[in-house]
Amino acid sequence: MKKSSRFIILLLSVIAAAYFLKPSFVWYFVYTEADRNEAGLSGLLLKSEVNSRVEMSITNFSENKEIEKSIIIKELKKEVNNYNRVKKNKLTIETKSERKDIESVLATLKITPDDYYKKAFEDHFVALFESKRKLRQSIIKLGLDLQGGAYAVVSVNFDHPSVEGKFTTDKEKTDALDNAVLMIENRINKFGVSETTIQKIKEQNKIVINLPGVKEATELRKIIETVGVLEFKVVSKEGSELLSNLKRKYDLEGNAFINNKGQIVPEIIAQLPPDTEVLPVANKDKWGDDLDNTPYLVVQKESLLGDSPQVENATVDPDNLGRYVVNFTLKGDAVDKWARATRENIGRQIAIILDDVILQSPVVQSEIPNGRSQVSLGSLSFEELSDMAKILRSGSLNVPLEIAEENTVGASLGKDTIKMGLTAITIGFTLVVLFMMVYYSLGGFIADIALFLNFFFLISGLAMFSGTLTLPGIAGIILTMGMAVDANVIIYERVKEEMRAGKTFNTAMILGYEKAFWTILDSNITTFAAAIGISLFGTGPIKGFAVTLCIGIVSTLFTALFITKLMWDGILSKSNFKTLRPLSLLRGK
């Protein structure tokens, strides 16, 4: 390969590494603590912060502050562009426009100024917080041993007597495991725990859960040990209408519809049709928070398909109008049950219920004799529909979950381990750099440059895979640094042997790289294989060590065999060394 081509590969590699590393750099070295806190806001906290910013910005805008005016103009330009695209006009808004110019444009667009200002600021701050949240998703995260929190390994027991013979195929077990992960995520989100990491270990039927910020293991156990139930029930139209009328009556009379326990008062329940129950409907605002005015539906107590509907498959596909829908296929006795249920309930709503909360209540259009059904779930995102499909595939979470391991790590310990880990890296790195420069002269300097690039590529590799840095991961970095220079030592000692055999320096350098190649490759491949094994079967922080080591081995081979060779080729094309001085400061002859 030509030298220019190799240089382009190196340049592209550095650019790609910088691209993946940028979010982590911004997060840890540019963002303030306030910025990092804002990235974790959601629900009511996000809503409250946005409203506070909006009120402050409206006040500043009324005082003609430039920052707020630039925000309004930036948002208004989007409206102007849309208006021009539809009306084929040439309405303009300048960057330096005054407030009267802004209001003139709003009048042309037939938009009320005060309402628009509030919406524009709200959209701006929502986008700002969303950008911080997205950046957080691309950073190198800190493990529990560095950040503090709770850690648990949950086993899914498919051998439990209650599920014996139910999950026989790998696909059934995989779907059940996916559903268990989803259920745990739902519960964790309900408890408001942010920056959670949930990792599925399919080979061992285990789920690893990292909960930064959770201080007590009892909190973690409470989150996990609740079992979810998926059910299909017929909506009672009569009961739901009666409930709606009763609620309206109670509101007009000023009587409490919900008691202090968050339950509908018994007087209302007593008036509903027999063999029915009242369930809340999932109702979230754009902030992802439950709305105060929770709607309720009355459903029949009998579950159409039992507590564990047998769903063979469920997928998310586009319908004829291009909207995403959930297609699911039942199996076994559930096919006949579903055919009878849909035949007997044409024109009625069937509620899809998870954990006693109605997710959706689609209307049955016709009998479904073959067990195949399509459910339209309104404006839910593709990700939410995918989650729904996972729930349908596995049904209720009735596989026993057992906490095999749990632990908590204090924040003070995390700070101490970060400090000691960085100190260890600095000392190790410095000693290696000094040794190489003292012992190998120019060759040591080139090896040190490769070492810095190796560290750069290793960290960017962690960022590319959104990896988590743990204390064992730091140990993996230190080990990688030692292995990296070890490759250069092998090459340089081979070059010295060729020089002592009478070869010229240029020829010895070529032969040194050629003959050392397989030695270096073999030793790194064996280590890589061991690290892969640890990453596949290890859990928790140990996995962080294996992942770091795997990335480090790849970056070591690239820097030691490719980058240092490129640098030597550039040097030797302009210099003609006669002795070993470039590779031996102490013994140059």
pLDDT digits (tens, 9 = 90+) for 69-83: 888 888 888 888 887
**Are 163 and 214 found together in one domain?**
yes
DSSP code at position 60:
H
**Are 14 and 126 found together in one domain?**
no
Q: Is the pLDDT of residue 145 over 90?
A: no
How far apart CA 531 and CA 542 sit, in angstroms, is 10
Lowest mean pLDDT: which of 57-61, 157-161, 429-433? 157-161
Name the CA dihedral angle for 352, 331, 371, 205, rounded to a multiple of 10 degrees. Answer: 40
How far apart CA 487 and CA 554 sit, in angstroms, is 12
In a domain, 588, yes or no: no
**Cα-Cα-Cα-Cα dihedral sign, residues 126, 129, 132, 136:** negative
Lowest mean pLDDT: which of 5-19, 28-42, 175-189, 373-387? 373-387
Residue ending a domain, choose from 75, 110, 139:
139
**Are 217 and 265 found together in one domain?**
no
Residue ending a domain, choose from 352, 386, 406:
406
How far apart CA 178 and CA 394 sit, in angstroms, is 8
Q: Determine how many CB atoms are found less than 10 A away from the CB of residue 281.
A: 15
**pTM of the prediction?**
0.64
Angle at 183 between CA 179 and CA 189, to 5 degrees: 140
Tokens, residue 213: 């910020």
How far apart CA 451 and CA 502 sit, in angstroms, is 30
Percent of the chain past pLDDT 70, that is, above it, reads: 82
- Give the model's pLDDT for residue 190: 46
Amino acid at position 321, single letter:
L
Contacts of 413 (CB under 8 A, 6+ apart): 145, 148
Place 588 in a pLDDT band, splitting at 50, 70 and 90.
very low
In a domain, 258, yes or no: yes
Tokens, residue 326: 């959930």
**Are 554 and 432 found together in one domain?**
yes
Most confident residue range from 3-12, 280-289, 387-396, 412-421 = 3-12
Q: Is the pLDDT of residue 135 over 80?
A: yes
**Are 422 and 510 found together in one domain?**
yes
Whose CA is closest to 360, among 471, 233, 236, 247?
233
**Are 356 and 436 found together in one domain?**
no
Most confident residue range from 23-37, 86-100, 302-316 = 23-37
**Are 443 and 560 found together in one domain?**
yes
Count CA atoms closer than 13 A to 394's CA, side-chain side: 28
CATH of the domain at 539: 1.20.1640.10
Q: Determine how many CB atoms are found less than 10 A away from the CB of residue 61.
A: 20
Whose CA is closest to 140, among 462, 408, 423?
462
In a domain, 26, yes or no: no
Residues 242 and 298 sit within 8 Å (Cβ to Cβ): yes
Please name the residue that has the structure tokens 């102490």.
Answer: 586
Q: Is the pLDDT of residue 192 over 50?
A: no
Angle at 391 between CA 219 and CA 241, to 5 degrees: 95
**Are 553 and 452 found together in one domain?**
yes
Place 559 in a pLDDT band, splitting at 50, 70 and 90.
very high
**Are 180 and 130 found together in one domain?**
no
In a domain, 537, yes or no: yes
Residue ending a domain, choose from 108, 139, 170:
139
CATH of the domain at 388: 3.30.1360.200
In a domain, 25, yes or no: no
- Give the model's pLDDT for residue 193: 46
**Are 431 and 303 found together in one domain?**
no
Percent of the chain past pLDDT 90, that is, above it, reads: 13
In a domain, 528, yes or no: yes
**Are 574 and 562 found together in one domain?**
yes
In a domain, 222, yes or no: yes
Average pLDDT over residues 294-313: 81
Average pLDDT over residues 276-294: 72
State how far the alpha carbon of 167 is from the alpha carbons of 200, 393, 395, 409, 412, in Å. Answer: 17, 12, 12, 36, 44
Burial call 64-97: b when 16+ CB within 10 Å, e when fewer: eeeebbebbbebbeebbeebeeeeeeeeebeeeb
More confident residue, 154 or 455: 455
Structural domain of residue 421, as residue ranges? 3-20+411-583
CATH of the domain at 183: 3.30.70.3400
- Give the model's pLDDT for residue 449: 92
Contacts of 113 (CB under 8 A, 6+ apart): 102, 103, 106
Q: Is the pLDDT of residue 492 over 70?
A: yes
How large is the greatest C-alpha to C-alpha distance in the chain, in angstroms?
Answer: 106
**Are 417 and 544 found together in one domain?**
yes
In a domain, 578, yes or no: yes
Amino acid at position 233, single letter:
K
How far apart CA 444 and CA 446 sit, in angstroms, is 5
User: Does an H or E element contain 201, and which?
Assistant: strand 197-201
Number of domains in the chain: 4
Whose CA is closest to 443, among 516, 501, 502?
516
